[in-house]
């Protein structure tokens, strides 16, 4: 992402390695707050729930 490798990012989007959260996920997080790891790579904000 930081190097603007569009083909690699498109591959991640296509195989859903990165994606927008679903409405169900957002609703569940609102009802039961979750902590996230996050990094900003403009224009993206990448987040992963902390599950440990």
pLDDT, block means (10 residues), the chain with 52 residues: 85 93 93 93 89 80
Please give the helix or strand (H or E) that residue 8 lies within, else none. helix 6-14
Instruction: Look up the pTM and report it.
Output: 0.67
Per-residue confidence (pLDDT) for residue 7, from 0 to 100: 93
For residues 47 and 38, is the Cβ–Cβ distance under 8 A?
A: yes
The rounded distance, in Å, linking the Cα atoms of 11 and 28 is 28
Please give the helix or strand (H or E) that residue 27 lies within, else none. helix 23-31
Using DSSP's 3-state secondary structure scheme, residue 29 falls into helix
The rounded distance, in Å, linking the Cα atoms of 5 and 7 is 6
């Amino acid at each position: 992402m930081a190097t603007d490798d569009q083909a690699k990012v498109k591959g991640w989007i296509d195989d859903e390695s990165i994606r927008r959260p679903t409405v169900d996920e957002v609703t569940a997080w609102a009802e039961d707050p979750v902590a996230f790891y996050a990094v900003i790579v403009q224009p993206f904000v990448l987040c992963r729930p902390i599950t440990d």
